[in-house]
Structure 1
Amino acid sequence: MKLIDRLQNEVLVGDGAIGTMLYTKGIGLEVNFEHLNIIRPQLVLELHQEYLSAGAQVLETNTFGANRSRLQAIGLEAKVAEINRRGAAIARQAAGDQALVAGSIGPLARLKGEEKLLQPDEQRAIFLEQATALAEGGVDLLLLETFSDLDQAVIAVAAAKATGLPVIASMAYVEGGRTAAGFTVEQVASSLTAAGADVIGANCGAGPLELLRIVERLAKATTLPLSAYPNSGFPEFVDGRHIYRCTPEYFAGMAAEMAAGGATLVGGCCGTTPEHIRAVALRLKGAKPSPRVVISQSPAAKALDSSEPLKSGFLADWGKRPIITVELDPPPGMAIEKVLAGSQALKSAGADAINLAENPLARVRVGNIALGSMIQREVEIEVIPHITCRDRNLLGLQSDLMGASLLGLRNILAVTGDPARLGDQAGASSVYDLNSFELIKLIKDLNNGVNAVGNSIGTGTGFTIGCAFNPNSPKMAVQVTRLEKKLANGAQFVQTQPIYEQAVFDAMLEQTAHLGIPILPGILPLVSERNCEYLHNEVPGIVIPDEIRTRMKGKEKEAGVAEGVRIAKEFITAARHKVGGFYLIPPFGRYAIAAELIRFIREGK
């Protein structure tokens, strides 16, 4: 009988942990566990047989990390197909006709830095390669497990479905019923159902009690069969190793509650052993699927998702008059008088908001949140602090964002941040717990009154969320796709890299017209030939056309500034009736240049 038919009529028992069991059998953490399919197949076979003897009806292959992105890091990328086929064959040998074999597929390796993100077609190709090899090896189904990125899970489902095998899509949740990337149980259920998953599940991330709550929510959010593979509680570090204290008896009792809550495939994840599975098999012997009542998405869940593009604060008059934001760099020391004076001058000229970069080019500057609060209080103009993923871990980001809200800041531009190695602080390291997509999602969640793990923070933070966009890329369509993901995650306005070419500007407007979001093109006036060549040749994301480079040739000092301002005004003249505002970036903090351009935008002369 096929998997789905069986899940309609009985509760199946899955196996338990593979990695932690191999570790207890003497395999060091420096060894790639999946490579054991080739170099120690008998050991892997014995583990499968132990789970089969314990009563497991579904055996997972030892292939969780056997995708190209993970194996490439250790020089085994040429063995992707072999490792997966061997893993499937070993599990099939153990299972015989007594159990089903599930081909285990985990998420891709996480790469540091936004510039290293794999495009969706690249991700799909990696998943398809692994899924195809597992299918060729003889698995009965594919189990996508421990995913936290919902977009990646959807891509993986599409790739796995191409094999024609049944697909279980299982996400890892943390406390509060959210993935580490911030997706709710209900969002996951909706997306994975639409993606075509045959079974939806939860595994890892949390112990049995938390996973029980997740199963109960999943049961109300989808009609699909459900799987549950909880950890054996939380690990405790004792005498140099991690110990899981959840007893087989307790684990089996929780497994029974999960079955009663709607799960029809129950196994174990980290820390579980054949003894845990034996206890589960005895407890669930003869169990039938529990009746379920699926409820449409709750009003609370819908409210969590409803963040329409917002036009308030400095964007309130968008479409009625040009909106102008101006970037100023915080000073490298405590002397903030120039920034305060510049902010006052820009406000007097007609600016709507002041951007404050955060340690641009990874060089230390005074904190832009504190400075932004001071500017808003003393100058009475809105501030847009740039928040990077580089300088804080997930804890620090949440703490500082909530603090910024308490200080009255209402706008954030979420950016990845230049790598620390580019800066002047030897020994400084980049954090990058999140990328810009995830940071935007985090801010959206804080706006909705919950933190990264779904716990309430009380009143939401109330930020208008901005993001960056680079139209100068030779692959603008790729950048537009990335922008669409940022908007889906919660971005509400866009500021671009400096643009110098009308053709690029027009192409950007054409390719983003469907988005319906405020886009402020960046304008960085040139001040000299040297400045022009530096920006073109050394600064990522800036491209200056040959015509403008020729115009700046030989121009220095006052002549260079004058020519740079003329070029900026020509761009503004051509663009003013096509766009709702501008993002001005005065060079070297020379706010007088920005003030001149503001008056030109406002008065047309």
Structure 2
Amino acid sequence: MTINEYLKHHKLITDGSFGTYYSEKYQTDDMPENANTSFPERVLEIHSSYIEAGAKLIRTNTFASNTSLLSSDWTTVEKNILAAIKIAKTAIGDKEVFIAGDIGPIPESTPRNSDTDQLSEEYYQIARCFVENGISVLTFETFPDTEHILSAIQRIKKEYPIFIMVQFCVDQFGYSTSGLSAKKLLETVKAMPEIDAIGLNCGVGPGHMAQIYKKVNLNSDKYLISLPNAGYPKRIQSRQLIFDNNCGYFADKLADLSAFGMDILGGCCGTNPAFIKVLSDVLDIEQPTKTTVNLQKAKIETPRKNTGFIYNKDGSLKNKKLIAVELAPPISSNDEKLLEAAHFLQNEDVDVLTFPDSPSGRTRVDSVLMAEKVRRATGMCVMPHICCRDKNAIAMRSLFLGAYINDIHNFLIVTGDPIPSLARQNIKSVFNFDSVGLMQIAKDMNEETFTDMPIAYGGAINQGRRNIDVEIKRIKKKMDTGASFFLTQPVFSKEDADRVRYIKEMTGARILCGIMPLISRKNALFMKNEIAGVTVADTIIERYPEHGSKTEGEAVGVAVSREMIEYTYDFADGYYFSFPFNKVHLLKEIMK
């Protein structure tokens, strides 16, 4: 009997936790996956205990079997997986019990250093190892998002007729560590024909999991999974985590989840064979005819108007050349010069003022707070930059909410500059995700929280990237994640302009070209040698007098800026001005 045939007529009870049970049973902090080759009898004993307790599906002891967590090469990982498969097959013998190849998240370095293609390839190789060795069910569990696994799932399902389960881990408020909601995550996998069963595991106890599911529209033809933790652990002696032995409560809550329409039920952290035994005793496993499930009334989607400085009030795109001006928040509490610049720009044809988020990893006044003060003082449209360096997903969501209630609805989302090397001993980056990940959070909040008036957000373009096709691929990814405009690095040459033109042709993105009026030879040399991502040609530097006056330097800056506007005028949707030392009076000269 296949798992599909079984699920047509039965609820499927899985095993419980392997990791926490292994640690408790054998009083060890060693990774359970190492036991596949060092203590196979332990692994066999745990599998057998779960089967005796009533589990009809056991997961191989391979949650951490990858090159990162095993700190090994692929040959060692493959050996570990093969050993786990052999033990699981021995455990079930001739019993009518299914084996699922268990695949957990592969840890990444900081998002800016992660290799999506490499991670996807390893997920595929792990899946293929299972399937080629007789495992016809795969479970991707405890994932915070789908970024690296979808392509692997599509590849393996195209090659083999297998059953694939995908489970996400969220907190008690329904959000993953990537900042995505259970609703968003489940909507994504519901739309994938390659996936057969979807749901949640780990992260929360059974009561909170039921509450989360009640807030999600589960209309789907896919089988639904609930594998909560036993509850929430207590820390003993500052090190060991202990879960309560609340088998009865756990089983009752899972019976409620079964009544909601869950098809596959079992346990995660803190559960053991005793939990599964009580669950199998109380759960009615007779499966009613599979119907779509809806735990809440479907919301009626109403068209939303676009918002943001690039749109008119009726939601249509503005046809004029847009003008954005960057004002760098001060490094001290003295904001007098910035406010003077903002008041000057009130009388110019400026669409939005932007505020960078501590660029170069050096402390400046918070970009959102600075934007809010300028908005109140001038009434102008403002757009803080938000970078991923300093805040985790919780703080990012809080920031968007706080900005929103203060009528800030425009954001430039960037990955952010790294912290200077000398400061890294005492200051740690967060980089919970990169700019695309943060845009996904913003998109998620637009769909769930800011439905009446969604926020508008854009991204940065580095036209100087050596491989421009990589940059184009990333821009398209940002557009798919809701970015509605892009600001480029400063354009300082016709070659720069041509690269931006090519990006525009290949993506169709709405692009504001960066214009930076350098005010002296010294300023130009500093930008060339000290600021990452900015390319100032020697021919530009030579145009500045070596010992020129302030007036002479500014005149060159204005002339160069006008040339860059001329180079880009045929395709640019607008211009993004960044004035050294907030010398915004130069805008009037440039735009004459």
Do they superpose with TM above 0.5? yes
User: Cα–Cα, structure 1 residues 48 and 176, in superposed 2: closer, same or farther, change >3 Å?
Assistant: same
Q: C-alpha separation between the residues in 2 aligned to 1:433 and 1:501?
A: 35
Q: CA deviation at 1:344?
A: 2.2
- The Cα offsets for residues 120-174 of structure 1, whole Å up to 9 and x where unpaired, read as x333211111112222343231111111213334234224425512211222233
1:225 aligns with 2:247: no
Gaps of 5+ in 2: none
Q: C-alpha separation between the residues in 2 aligned to 1:564 and 1:287?
A: 77
1:386·1:412 contact (CA, 8 Å) conserved in 2? yes
How do 1:393-472 residues align onto structure 2 when only pairs under 5 Å count? Answer: 393-422=392-421, 427-447=426-446, 450=449, 463-472=455-464
Q: C-alpha separation between the residues in 2 aligned to 1:541 and 1:198?
A: 45
1:96 aligns with 2:93: yes
Give the letter aligned to residue 23 of structure 2: Y
- The Cα offsets for residues 469-525 of structure 1, whole Å up to 9 and x where unpaired, read as 222222333323323333333333221222334445444444445755532121223
2:580 paired residue among 578, 587, 590: 587
SS in 1 for 2:466: coil
Q: C-alpha separation between the residues in 1 aligned to 2:537 and 2:237?
A: 63
Q: CA deviation at 1:380?
A: 3.0
1:486 paired residue among 459, 478, 481: 478
Q: C-alpha separation between the residues in 2 aligned to 1:307 and 1:540?
A: 38
User: Cα–Cα, structure 1 residues 373 and 350, in superposed 2: closer, same or farther, change >3 Å?
Assistant: same
Match of 1:357 in 2: 356
Q: CA deviation at 1:215?
A: 5.5
Q: CA deviation at 1:581?
A: 0.5
Alignment: residue pair count: 585
Moved more, 47-56 or 437-446: 437-446
1:127·1:156 contact (CA, 8 Å) conserved in 2? yes
Match of 1:518 in 2: 510
User: Cα–Cα, structure 1 residues 470 and 97, in superposed 2: closer, same or farther, change >3 Å?
Assistant: farther
1:40 aligns with 2:39: yes
Match of 2:17 in 1: 17
Match of 2:531 in 1: 539
Match of 1:575 in 2: 568
Compute the RMSD of aligned alpha carbons.
Answer: 3.2
Match of 2:341 in 1: 342
Gaps of 5+ in 1: 451-457
Structure richer in helix, relative to its length: 1
SS in 1 for 2:564: helix
Give the letter aligned to residue 475 of structure 1: N
Q: C-alpha separation between the residues in 1 aligned to 2:5 and 2:28?
A: 40
Q: C-alpha separation between the residues in 1 aligned to 2:422 and 2:352?
A: 27
Moved more, 427-436 or 552-561: 552-561
- The Cα offsets for residues 363-412 of structure 1, whole Å up to 9 and x where unpaired, read as 12223333222222223322211122223333433333333333333322
- The Cα offsets for residues 208-242 of structure 1, whole Å up to 9 and x where unpaired, read as 12333555677842112222211112222244422
1:220·1:292 contact (CA, 8 Å) conserved in 2? no
SS in 2 for 1:390: coil
How do 1:165-176 residues align onto structure 2 when only pairs under 5 Å count? Answer: 165-176=162-173
Match of 1:147 in 2: 143
Q: C-alpha separation between the residues in 2 aligned to 1:500 and 1:293?
A: 58
2:312·2:318 contact (CA, 8 Å) conserved in 1? no
Q: C-alpha separation between the residues in 2 aligned to 1:360 and 1:186?
A: 31
SS in 2 for 1:170: strand
User: Cα–Cα, structure 1 residues 151 and 590, in superposed 2: closer, same or farther, change >3 Å?
Assistant: same
1:259·1:290 contact (CA, 8 Å) conserved in 2? no
Q: C-alpha separation between the residues in 2 aligned to 1:137 and 1:538?
A: 55
Q: C-alpha separation between the residues in 1 aligned to 2:62 and 2:103?
A: 6
1:128·1:160 contact (CA, 8 Å) conserved in 2? yes
Give the letter aligned to residue 245 of structure 1: D
Match of 1:136 in 2: 132
How do 1:111-122 residues align onto structure 2 when only pairs under 5 Å count? Answer: 111-112=109-110, 114-119=111-116, 121-122=117-118
Q: C-alpha separation between the residues in 2 aligned to 1:160 and 1:65?
A: 20
Q: C-alpha separation between the residues in 1 aligned to 2:232 and 2:348?
A: 58
Q: C-alpha separation between the residues in 2 aligned to 1:552 and 1:391?
A: 38
1:499 aligns with 2:498: no
User: Cα–Cα, structure 1 residues 27 and 133, in superposed 2: closer, same or farther, change >3 Å?
Assistant: farther
- The Cα offsets for residues 230-255 of structure 1, whole Å up to 9 and x where unpaired, read as 11122222444222225222222223
2:228·2:268 contact (CA, 8 Å) conserved in 1? yes
Q: C-alpha separation between the residues in 1 aligned to 2:381 and 2:364?
A: 20
SS in 1 for 2:489: strand
Q: What is the TM-score normalised by the length of structure 1? A: 0.86
User: Cα–Cα, structure 1 residues 277 and 145, in superposed 2: closer, same or farther, change >3 Å?
Assistant: same
User: Cα–Cα, structure 1 residues 183 and 296, in superposed 2: closer, same or farther, change >3 Å?
Assistant: same
Q: C-alpha separation between the residues in 2 aligned to 1:108 and 1:556?
A: 56
1:53 aligns with 2:84: no
Match of 1:109 in 2: 107
Match of 1:455 in 2: none
Give the letter aligned to residue 429 of structure 2: S
How do 1:27-426 residues align onto structure 2 when only pairs under 5 Å count? Answer: 28-29=28-29, 31-71=30-70, 74-75=71-72, 78-98=75-95, 99-112=97-110, 114-119=111-116, 121-162=117-158, 164=160, 165-180=162-177, 181-185=179-183, 188-189=186-187, 191-213=189-211, 220-240=218-238, 241-245=240-244, 247-284=246-283, 287-289=286-288, 291-294=290-293, 300=299, 302=301, 310-312=307-309, 319-422=318-421
Q: What is the TM-score normalised by the length of structure 2? A: 0.88
Moved more, 250-259 or 321-330: 250-259
User: Cα–Cα, structure 1 residues 587 and 10, in superposed 2: closer, same or farther, change >3 Å?
Assistant: same
Q: C-alpha separation between the residues in 1 aligned to 2:243 and 2:452?
A: 37
User: Cα–Cα, structure 1 residues 90 and 300, in superposed 2: closer, same or farther, change >3 Å?
Assistant: same
- The Cα offsets for residues 270-296 of structure 1, whole Å up to 9 and x where unpaired, read as 111011111122233652245424569
SS in 1 for 2:221: coil
Moved more, 122-131 or 479-488: 479-488
Moved more, 546-555 or 271-280: 546-555
1:220·1:293 contact (CA, 8 Å) conserved in 2? yes
2:384·2:410 contact (CA, 8 Å) conserved in 1? yes
Q: C-alpha separation between the residues in 2 aligned to 1:340 and 1:577?
A: 33
Q: CA deviation at 1:300?
A: 3.0
Q: C-alpha separation between the residues in 1 aligned to 2:376 and 2:395?
A: 24
Moved more, 220-229 or 389-398: 389-398
Moved more, 204-213 or 175-184: 175-184
